[in-house]
Structure 1
Amino acid sequence: MSTEAVAWAMDQAPMPRTEKGKADTTARHVLQALAEHASPSGTDAHPSVLRIQYRTGYDRTTVQRALRRLERAGLIAKDGMVESRIRYKLAMELRRPATDWSDLEREEDDFRAAAAERKRRSRSKGVTHAESVTVTHGNAVTVTHTESVTADVTDATPSRHALKVRPSRTERRPNHQQPSDNQLHKDSSSPAAQTDEPKGELHLEAFGAFWTVYPKKRAREEAKKAWIAAIKRGAEPKHIVNAAQAYARERFSQDPKYTKFPATWLNKGCYDDEPDPQPGPPRLRAVGPRTAPRDLNHMTDEEKQRALNF
């Protein structure tokens, strides 16, 4: 393999074009495969069609057509035969014009400008200007705001307007005292936001109790997010803590790698699972002079062996 020939085929050789003027990437790929078998001067390139197929993944007909297009473009020329294979010479004296790079840069700039324009138009569609806003309240009062504010109030029977627009925070309410900034913030927030925001920090003190009793303490922040989500779904903190204690007893003396992460345990709602039954320790007849039964957890290894062989 010649690095000079490969570098020429990849970066310096003119880009072959199709009949429609588009880049002929197939012929370009075949040219690179030929360069891998050429000498530093671009001669003695004689890979078989089968070898080029293996290198590029193209079928035999595609490779042969690409070779003919490269010959017509003057990038390669036949230079005899080697063991029934055609030998080619690469036209390494040809160079790609510098305008190819500048054309690509210009296309990139045009693409970025078009993307920025689409983004600007998308944002402008969601902007509502408050210079002239018509507001219809539920008590059938119509207020028209302009640069010089004029308020016309007409009492009528209650009716629904086809379009209801919430008043801007910066607009003054006619015949009423200007509300404070805190009141504006309270009025502008939706009921769902008013309930969800404090609820997200609700029972975080109880989370400390959960974290204390849970058998595996990993990824505390993820567990805290899962805790808040579980509370929002309606789970009781005391119920979760009790379930975590039961799970800790269940996993006691078990392989810790099979213990769930706290966030996984909370997200899957495992606090509502029924705990596995915990059978008591096996009771065996005493060995030797002892008359009271003992369990395996309080026996020595020698006593266990004698008890099991009894």
Structure 2
Amino acid sequence: MSTEAMNWAMDDAPMLRTEKDRPDTTARHVLQVLGEHARPDGTNAHPSILRIQFRTGYDRTTVQRALRRLEKAGLIRRDGTVDGRTRWQLAMELIRPKTDWADLEREEDAFRAAAAERKRRSRSKDVTRSTPVTVTDFECVTVTDSESVTGDVTHSTPSRHALKVRPSRTQCRPNHQQPSDNQIPKSSSPATASAAADVPQPDHHLKAFGAFWSNYPKKRDREEAKKAWIAAIERGVDPDLMVKSAQAYARERHGKDATFTKYPANWLNKGCYDDEPDPEPPAANGTPQHPTYDTEEYYRGFVQQ
């Protein structure tokens, strides 16, 4: 094996082209096999057709056609025979043009630029211009344009950014539970609103989450369930309704395969608290099929935690 002949066959030899002006990789592979069996000056390369087949994986006809293409292009020349095998001499004086590498670099740059442009267009399709929105939940902010925000902001506890308010599900669900009178923000004078903002109010909704979690039949992903609970409260859902619905769902799933019981976050996000529960079958001994819990008791337990 000759390192010089191998380097020439792999890198320096001119690349043959097919009729469709594509690189002739088959002929290139056969030329590399000849380079493995040649001397440093490219002479005395006489591997058998069978050896080339074994080395490349091509069939006999493919190998013979590749040898004829290489011979026609002048990259190899016949130099007698050895034990009935054709002896070849490699035309190592023929050098591949340096422009081949520059052409490959230009193709690579063009490919990367096209990929970046496709990615930019894909991202621009996902970005939509926001429409004028008026947000009155906890923070009084009027958004008149995507680039300008004006309004009177009144901080409350807990405070949150107006642009993070999730869209109301009551818009797509006409039968959604409407907020009670206590949950509807009442208009007041600026002085009254400022005084109310200075007095911290306890977060009763998170306390009610303790009762919900204790009653729900499948306790998985507590933090995700808490986020879904807060989102439901922001949509105006009564916490007592969700606790009672969780109790009814627990009674419905009692004694059934827990695999098909919804995760609490999924149950809250889909608004399953508004579903009509299945009728509960009568108990044989008069006791309920699923234990119930006192809501106020779990409120107190959650506050202690």
TM-score with structure 2 setting the length: 0.50
Higher relative contact order (CA 8 A, sep 6+): 2
- Give the TM-score, by structure 1 length: 0.49
